[in-house]
Amino acid sequence: MLSIVDYSMGNLRSVAKAFEHLACPAQITRTPADIERADRLVLPGVGAFADAMAALNSYGLVEPILSFINSGKPFLGICLGLQLLFELSSEDGQHQGLGVWPGQCVRFDFKDYPQGRGLKIPHMGWNTIIRQNQCPLFRGLPDPCYVYFVHSYYVVPDQQDVSAALTEYGPVTFTSAAWKDNIFATQFHPEKSQRIGLKMLQNFIDFQPVGSA
């Protein structure tokens, strides 16, 4: 069973419908036992970092999510779900994330870049991603390819080997997808990225971790 984490922050139905379109039924849940039993887990999210961490803690979901990730089963973070995987965010102060990967989440800031003046924040709409490694999420897709973004913050990993794709927005080049072992995450929204995004979600469904049956 594929489970989608419900912590009252996210476009749950659109993510679930995308998987259902691929003939992969998805369970929306905030029950730790459901997360433990899941074969695949998706952490979506739209909104503020601190509110998201507070919600995950209030529902008792932090430990189940970390336990799932450490189990080696496939995990996918989407948008805010990518940012939460890192140690820190500077959104409205300094806030602790899940700490799966070292690094932080920072806001787009173009004040020191004349060529960035006039660019809108949030970064919203279609943009390209350029692969940095052989991430299984991108199997069978063109490079570069267009996907859909809505975000004001982006992640800065301490370890560049987790950056699976990069995207340029004005003078800033940021990590738009991350991957290591069983953990996948995208700053963009695959569920809103039409054929390209559906192919990524299918690749996530098909992914088999090393050593799995």
CATH of the domain at 104: 3.40.50.880
Examine residue 194 and state whether it is found in any structural domain, yes or no.
yes
**Among candidates 200, 203, 175, 181, which has minimal Cα distance to 189?**
200
Annotated catalytic residue within 24, 79, 87, 135:
79
Mean pLDDT over the full length of the chain: 95
Q: What percent of the chain has pLDDT over 70?
A: 99
pLDDT of amino acid 49:
96
Both ends of the chain: CA-CA distance in Å? 16
Task: Spot the catalytic one: 105, 145, 151, 191.
Answer: 191
Domain that holds residue 35: 2-206
Choose the catalytic residue: 95, 123, 151, 189. 189
- pLDDT, residue 10, reads 78
Any domain includes 166? yes
Q: Would 127 be classed as within a structural domain?
A: yes
What's the rounded Cα separation, in Å, for the pair 150 and 24? 25
Residues of the chain above pLDDT 90, percent: 91
In a domain, 107, yes or no: yes
Domain count, the chain: 1
pLDDT of residue 13: 93
Provide the pLDDT for residue 212.
60
Judge whether 213 lies within some domain: no
Structure tokens at 60: 């008792």
Is residue 212, in this structure, part of any structural domain at all?
A: no
106 strand-pairing partners = 154
Give a three-class secondary structure readout of the chain.
CEEEECCCCCCHHHHHHHHHHCCCCEEEECCHHHHHHCCEEEECCCCCHHHHHHHHHHCCCHHHHHHHHHHCCCEEEECHHHHCCEEEECCCCCEECCCCEEEEEEECCCCCCHHHCCCCCCEEEEEEEEECCCCHHHCCCCCCEEEEEEECEEEEECCHHHEEEEEEECCEEEEEEEEECCEEEECCCHHHCHHHHHHHHHHHHHCCCCCCC
pLDDT-derived band at 210, boundaries 50, 70, 90: confident
Q: Is the pLDDT of residue 62 over 90?
A: yes
Tokens of 18: 């995308």
Q: Determine the average pLDDT of the residues in 37-63.
A: 96
Q: Determine which of 17-31, 100-114, 144-158 has the lowest per-residue pLDDT on average.
A: 100-114
168 flagged as catalytic? no
Any domain includes 133: yes
Q: Poorest-confidence range of 13-17, 74-78, 109-113, 181-185?
A: 109-113
Task: Let me know if 21 is a catalytic residue.
Answer: no
211 in any annotated domain: no
Active site residue 105: no
**Most confidently predicted of 10-19, 104-113, 191-200:** 191-200
In terms of Cβ atoms closer than 10 Å to its own Cβ (0-12, 13-18, 19+), residue 112 is: exposed
